[in-house]
Structure 1
């Protein structure tokens, strides 16, 4: 019976139940009508990369137990998002482009449509309104998800090109994350040594010259640790690792999630800086390790990264309490791993050597004597829908079931932005 109870929680404990209540109980239609008069001054968009409903359930069970609520789940409006790209199973670049610009595109594309033409992003529209903008991630700051909100390249691997566009084209005000290697040319190590024992492949590889020097010349304060980040004023570029701010390896083989600056701390700094603009701001915050650890079928660190994301969401919700014209939403670009939450069962088929799934755990359910395991069916992405939860100004818009491109349209409506066709 214990196992059955956990399974019921996994199915109905978070977004699925709230969607049924909110999206199909006669609330959706009236709320969307009301939303037209509730404009958001500020937007904080959280992306839990690779974080599907089951991942959110596992994070919840491990953190607050069956009857508790995560900050990312304690929101009044819920929807489900179809995640496909033009090639069905999306990658982060195509998905983020759908969110940022409202178009379906090919995997690997950043800020361009399926015909390889630039498409204006929601962050660029926000900038046109005089709003401040920010990108925060535990990945490289130039990785696919943040890149799609503020750059345009045909191939997500062009990370130095993306960095240069941040500085000279989209002019993002706050940039906090990893990826220092793409800001310095080969042979010029920055604050983080080349070819470290943890990962000898990491070394400076920039193709656009010394972009840290370029950033400084454009008025950015460059920081590489929490102390300097906290003190920084005005536009800030913070790079806190060679590549990602963690080591994504198979469990027990050098896998580490311990960023030198935490995602909640980066989120707070971005909010403190951007909120100085009386015209508002648009901030995108990504937790990348929920995806990278899932690619390695590492449930322990997938959950740990999700817990840090949830702490960051709480930071934003606390800000929104003081600034009720702020929209906060949490979503994923896609699901990774075919993640499922199951009962602890020695006879489970995943241990028979005949299935492709791998078993992980057990993990304790907080505030109880029960536990659960995680099963994986793949090390890649899947095509299942992902939940979005929302609170604050314009949050009523995000109920229902819809394509990932609709996120762009809903964000534009919440901000009162007229999109040029």
Structure 2
């Protein structure tokens, strides 16, 4: 990590905020002093902010956020992610030769590189040529880098910021690139299988019930955990080891694949991560903030997307609670470090979700029951899930979740933000715009 720097000073500037659903210009602290602050020495003496916390609720569309608000806060409350003072909407379409709707790889690549690409691509252009990524650029500029996710640490979103590949499935090669090319200081999440060679099952054996696609170790790049340790990373794989971690280079893998089990409700679904997303975020910030030149941290809750693929509203709402807790950690950090840009968004919408009243006359069937009917091969138009209680109403109000697909949709996703540069995120724009804003904060 770079040597410590001190003396950063910040002044007040006007930022556009959302108040009661109306866009307004409000004074907020956290704008950079820039060249007008000769005493500030962040950003090579310019006083420029150098840190970004980027939080992705994978698959999180507007209805997911609203369902989470009703579930956690009720009619009169707000989620921490929605209390951020700046809001906008991003479009998410890819540049795929066949598909209009994006996958996570193309969406994250747009964020990481500012270039649209095809589904399945990890920060390469439509011709398969590698592109510069924010994560690697941050490392090359002397900033620290970090990954926190409940997915595999080599899955699409974190991979796009710290690796390049023509195929998102090459997760062992993506892990190799972390160690040999981009070298983020903190790597925390799931995906142990991709770091260990076949036959070495490590801490997490294959999950039961995965006979068709067993979750087994599969690295073709050798023992990457051993390679990481040889490079100075402290490796942890249990909650106890994580709690005792004290390294400036930290690799933590807490599941063989994702840190949960995605299934339709009642069919072996689980959401009980060994280490919470909030705790991983806390530790990552503790490590990365030691570099006062700044850092770039990607935080992802994958469970929102995976549970939505199975139209599992109960587990999706649990994943949203996990995400909200991590946002609380990030907001607390930004409150103490106003030179940090915080962005919370979703890479795409998943499930075609909407929120409805509980209605026995709706397509959910007679008797007031709400069977979960997954839309498969045209067998059902949609399926309802629930009922779920509105928080704070003592059961007097409830709601249903109506799924229209088990796939992604092209609905624009909400962007909320705080900190320097966030004023540029008001409005309606393509997802590549987030790259430009983050790049401006990280590199001026």
Paired position in structure 2 for 1:4: none
Deviations along 1:34-53, one digit per CA (max 9) or x if unpaired, are 78959433111000000000
For residue 323 of structure 1, report the CA deviation from its aligned partner: 1.0
Answer yes or no: is 1:288 the counterpart of 2:302: yes
Higher relative contact order (CA 8 A, sep 6+): 1
CA contact 1:247–1:254 (8 Å) conserved in 2: yes
Answer yes or no: is 1:173 the counterpart of 2:185: yes
Answer yes or no: is 1:199 the counterpart of 2:200: no
Answer yes or no: is 1:185 the counterpart of 2:197: yes
Measured on the aligned residues, the alpha-carbon RMSD in Å equals 2.1
Paired position in structure 1 for 2:390: 365
Paired position in structure 2 for 1:51: 60
SS at match of 2:81: coil
CA contact 1:180–1:241 (8 Å) conserved in 2: yes
**d(CA) in 1 for partners of 2:440 and 2:346?**
20
CA contact 2:388–2:399 (8 Å) conserved in 1: yes
User: Which of 168, 171, 175 matches 1:163?
Assistant: 175
SS at match of 2:385: strand
Deviations along 1:288-309, one digit per CA (max 9) or x if unpaired, are 0000000000011111101110
> What is the TM-score when the length of structure 2 is the normalising length?
0.85
SS at match of 1:349: coil
SS at match of 2:142: coil
For residue 197 of structure 1, report the CA deviation from its aligned partner: 2.2
CA contact 1:186–1:206 (8 Å) conserved in 2: yes
Paired position in structure 2 for 1:141: 153
Paired position in structure 1 for 2:255: 241
CA contact 1:222–1:238 (8 Å) conserved in 2: yes
Answer yes or no: is 1:377 the counterpart of 2:397: no
Deviations along 1:106-158, one digit per CA (max 9) or x if unpaired, are 00000101111111111122112211000010000000111000000100000
User: Which of 212, 215, 224 matches 1:211?
Assistant: 224
**Structure 1 residues not aligned, in runs of 5+:** 1-15
Paired position in structure 1 for 2:432: 405
- Of 119-128 and 359-368, deviating more is 119-128
**d(CA) in 1 for partners of 2:179 and 2:251?**
10
Answer yes or no: is 1:21 the counterpart of 2:22: yes
CA contact 1:123–1:133 (8 Å) conserved in 2: yes
SS at match of 1:363: strand
For residue 377 of structure 1, report the CA deviation from its aligned partner: 0.2
Deviations along 1:176-223, one digit per CA (max 9) or x if unpaired, are 000000101111111112x33253511111110000000001000000
**d(CA) in 2 for partners of 1:248 and 1:210?**
27
Paired position in structure 2 for 1:221: 234
- Greater fraction helix: 1
Paired position in structure 2 for 1:392: 419
**d(CA) in 2 for partners of 1:355 and 1:114?**
36
Q: Size of the alignment, in residue pairs?
A: 395
Using a 3 Å threshold, how does the CA distance of structure 1 residues 36 and 80 change in structure 2: closer, same or farther?
farther
**d(CA) in 2 for partners of 1:137 and 1:211?**
19
Paired position in structure 2 for 1:307: 321
SS at match of 1:202: coil
SS at match of 1:333: coil
SS at match of 2:82: coil
**d(CA) in 1 for partners of 2:163 and 2:104?**
14
**d(CA) in 1 for partners of 2:276 and 2:190?**
11
